[in-house]
Chains A and B, each alone.
Chain A
């Protein structure tokens, strides 16, 4: 199995003492990894370090063998991401936003931009400025930007934020289709545990900055009634320790 992402000894402590501590993780190509944890557990911090938005105190992240710290350009060639919120340039249209991102990838042409707008249901709003978009539409545009380069690894922080029910189902199906057909690896954080249960093949639980467990979803569901029960049990156990 090809190693898509390797996290070793990742540590980042903020002045208030919170952050992440000694995080180790291996992600294989085709995994749909659900990253769960209570608020403030360190999920976004970990994702920001993985995408180079933040520098760790210690440790490293390698994406398809390239270090985010030492070989950033090669590491990010294969990555698409939404971190914290799906931002867009409000003074540009949906098409112009994607056109800007397309310049970084030689293989992305006009056809691919339209394809991404079609996949995310934004084709009819192609020429509308992003400032007029609703939260859900901005989230869709963020997703279109993330999948634009056909990345091998997608890091998505709360990708279902602001989406309507139809949008959530579409997103779920898209994630499964990309993982099955194109072997895309996903690293997803979400508080919508039901959606994580339906979508993700592996689950990692982070609590108080530490990755307390990593397990396959089917094994979890063989031992627990639901992912929610597993999550609460792991967080409780970690809290007691």
Chain B
């Protein structure tokens, strides 16, 4: 456990020192600003109310979930595995008194922290923007809905990033892993449209899982079913990723 804690602290420290985190933060700010500009333009130009102050974060969320967040989660996962294997820095951690399982857990946990951090950052930013620029601020109920939606979004994005972790342990080249992740992401979206009856087995179809949490009618059965599918996928991807990581000779 001590080894895991040290490895986890180190992974977070390395994450903070990389430029990708700053880039992710800057692009997240840009996404919020673009979203706000679009809402304002539509309100001023067409007189249509797209979002009130309270639900503006819910306008930004799909923009984040389908583009920036999975992309940056993939970048971070590739950096943590393929990147460190390529630059030979993986051995710096692996030759310390910590098991490979501890290192793998520390890396995936810090990836989870990155996703949570990014979601929280955009949520707070979009809430502030929503309250500042939109005329009808929402109440506590709106805030609870927004928090629920952002919290729920974590799981599908994290499961997708575990898929990237698996690929990063399967292929040596970071570029190959990135393009393959991109290809799988697009293929899953397409398959979700073409074979809609099977879409619940594709992780990208669950990126809108949060809508179940904030809809007028709370469909507990569907929420639990999708949660179990994602938990199963996550467990299998985690186990497969660790299997490859553990067997790797440096």
The chain A residues found within 8 Å of chain B, CB to CB, are 48, 51-55, 72-74, 76-77, 79, 81, 83-85, 87-92, 96, 100-101, 103-106, 145
Q: Kindly list chain A residues whose C-beta atoms are within 8 Å of the C-beta of B17.
A: 91-92, 96
Residues of A within 8 A of B49 (CB): none
Residues of B within 8 A of A87 (CB): 87-89, 91-92
CB of B99 within 8 A of CB of A72, answer yes
Contact of B97 among A48, A53, A77, A89 (CB under 8 A): A77
Report the separation of the CA atoms of residues A85 and B92 in the bound assembly, to the nearest whole angstrom.
Answer: 11
Chain B residues within an 8 Å CB radius of A100: 10, 13-14, 92
Query: Are B9 and A103 in touch, CB under 8 angstroms?
Result: yes
Residues of chain B within 8 A of A101, CB atoms compared: 92, 96
Residues in B with CB closer than 8 Å to A76 are 95-98
CB contact under 8 A between A104 and B249, given known A76-B96, A83-B91: no
Q: Using A73-B97, A103-B6, A103-B9 as known contacts, say yes or no to A48 and B250 having CB atoms under 8 A apart.
A: yes
Q: Which of A79, A81, A84, A96 contacts B88 (CB 8 A)?
A: A84
B-chain residues with CB within 8 Å of residue A73 when the two chains form the complex: 3, 97-99
In the assembly, what is the distance between CA of A91 and CA of B79, in Å?
13
What distance in Å separates the Cβ of A85 from its nearest Cβ neighbour in chain B?
A: 7
B87 nearest CB neighbor, chain A only:
A87
Which residues of B67-120 have CB atoms within 8 Å of chain A's CB atoms? 87-89, 91-92, 94-100
- Say whether chain A's binding surface is mostly helix, strand, loop, or mixed: loop
**B18 near A: Cβ within 8 Å?**
yes
Shortest distance between the CB of B91 and any CB in chain A (Å): 6
B96, B98, B247, B249 pick with most chain A CB within 10 angstroms: B96
Q: Which residue of B lies closest to A76 (CB)?
A: B97
Tell me the smallest distance from the CB of B227 to a CB of chain A, in Å: 34
* A113 → B minimal CB distance (Å): 15
Complex: chain B residue closest to A91, CB-CB: B17
Please name all residues of chain B whose beta carbon is closer than 8 Å to the beta carbon of A55 when the two chains form the complex: 247, 249
New A-B contacts (8) at CB < 8 Å, excluding given A54-B249, A72-B97: A53-B95, A72-B99, A76-B98, A92-B14, A100-B10, A103-B6, A106-B2, A145-B92
A89 x B88 contact (CB < 8 A): no
B13 close to A53 (CB less than 8 A): no
A108 to chain B minimum Cβ distance, whole angstroms, is 11
Nearest 9 CB-CB pairings of A with B: A103-B6, A53-B250, A104-B96, A76-B97, A54-B249, A77-B97, A104-B6, A87-B88, A100-B10
> How far, in whole Å, are A52 and B103 apart by their CA atoms in the complex?
13
Could you say which residues of chain B place their CB within 8 Å of the CB of A91?
17-18
| Contact present for B99 and A89 (CB under 8 Å) | no
Bound complex: CA A92 to CA B16 (Å):
11
Docked CA distance A106–B1 (Å): 13
